[in-house]
């Protein structure tokens, strides 16, 4: 990928020792050839809750998996397409930066990918190396690595982001036209079945008897059963 000035920019992988990516990168790896493509995977998990005799089931939200990026990196030691390199050594350098255990932090480094519009804090999830050409003595001349990286969000930031709309917080809602309690419970908790607990918490004589403009409290999940 070329910059606005026309200069070729290689995909850069930087390794950090701190989970918050503070300070300078401890090490880095620049790919030999930029990938011709890469994929992004976004996956939402649901649980099926099907009653006996039911022909279908509701898809109950479980969680959102970390976004993943998949690349195929090429390494060529023949000297025909780029400067000659030791392919085995270059593959080892890639794995040392991305996935090998760091003795100081007792885990692989925290990674940052940067290439054009792509800037991702992540960790290596998997790397599969295939060697495709060899010298007469058996040492590899070409290799490709299929690598998958998973987005990594530091715990403090993740908790802060998730708790903005967490079902473990008390929510206040004003009843709008068309609202009913099971629907509102589904919007807040991901489950409509909490409507009776919410009705009791708000001292409603009839959960169906809602008025437009009425304020309702939706308590944290952990205290509903004791309300």
Q: Which of 115, 145, 160 is the last residue of a domain?
A: 160
Q: Which of 160, 182, 216 is the last residue of a domain?
A: 160
Q: In terms of DSSP bridges, do strands 110-115 and 12-16 run parallel, antiparallel, or are they unpaired?
A: antiparallel
pLDDT at 160: 45
pLDDT tens by residue, 31-67: 999 999 999 998 888 877 655 555 566 777 777 788 8
Q: Which of 142, 160, 178 is the last residue of a domain?
A: 160
In terms of domains, do 122 and 211 share one? no
Q: Indicate the pLDDT class of residue 225, thresholds 50, 70 and 90.
A: very low
Range of the domain at 194: 165-224
pLDDT at 53: 56
pLDDT top residue among 119 and 92: 92
pLDDT at 52: 55
In terms of domains, do 211 and 135 share one? no
Q: Work out the percent of the chain whose per-residue pLDDT is above 70.
A: 83
pLDDT at 177: 85
In terms of domains, do 114 and 217 share one? no
Position 126 in a domain = yes
For residue 86, give every residue at least 6 positions away whose Cβ sits within 8 Å of its Cβ, in sequence order, or none.
Answer: 77
pLDDT tens by residue, 108-144: 999 999 998 888 889 999 999 999 999 999 999 999 9
Pick the most confident of 65-79, 151-165, 207-221: 65-79
Q: In terms of DSSP H, where are the helices of the chain?
A: 87-98, 155-163, 181-189, 195-201, 221-224
How far apart CA 208 and CA 187 sit, in angstroms, is 17
Position 1 in a domain = no
How far apart CA 191 and CA 14 sit, in angstroms, is 42
pLDDT at 212: 87
Q: How many domains does the chain have?
A: 2
pLDDT at 93: 97
Residue 90 pLDDT > 50: yes
């Amino acid at each position: 990928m070329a910059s606005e000035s026309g200069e070729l920019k290689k995909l850069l992988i930087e390794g950090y020792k701190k989970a918050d990516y503070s300070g300078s990168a401890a090490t880095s790896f620049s790919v030999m050839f930029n990938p011709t493509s890469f994929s992004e995977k976004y996956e939402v998990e649901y649980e099926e809750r099907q009653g006996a005799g039911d022909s279908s089931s509701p898809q109950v939200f479980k969680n959102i998996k970390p976004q993943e990026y998949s690349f195929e990196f090429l390494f060529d030691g023949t000297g025909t397409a780029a400067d000659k390199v030791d392919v085995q050594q270059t593959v080892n350098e890639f794995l040392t930066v991305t996935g090998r255990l760091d003795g100081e932090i007792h885990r692989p480094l925290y990674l940052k990918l940067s290439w054009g519009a792509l800037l991702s804090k992540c960790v290596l999830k998997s790397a599969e190396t295939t060697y495709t050409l060899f010298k007469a003595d058996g040492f590899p001349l070409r290799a490709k690595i299929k690598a998958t990286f998973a987005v990594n969000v530091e715990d403090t930031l993740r908790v802060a982001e998730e708790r903005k709309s967490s079902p473990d917080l008390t929510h206040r809602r004003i009843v709008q036209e068309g609202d009913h309690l099971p629907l509102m419970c589904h919007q807040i908790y991901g489950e409509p079945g909490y409507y009776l607990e919410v009705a009791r918490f708000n001292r409603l004589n009839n959960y169906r008897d809602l008025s437009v403009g009425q304020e309702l409290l939706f308590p944290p999940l952990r205290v509903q059963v004791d309300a």
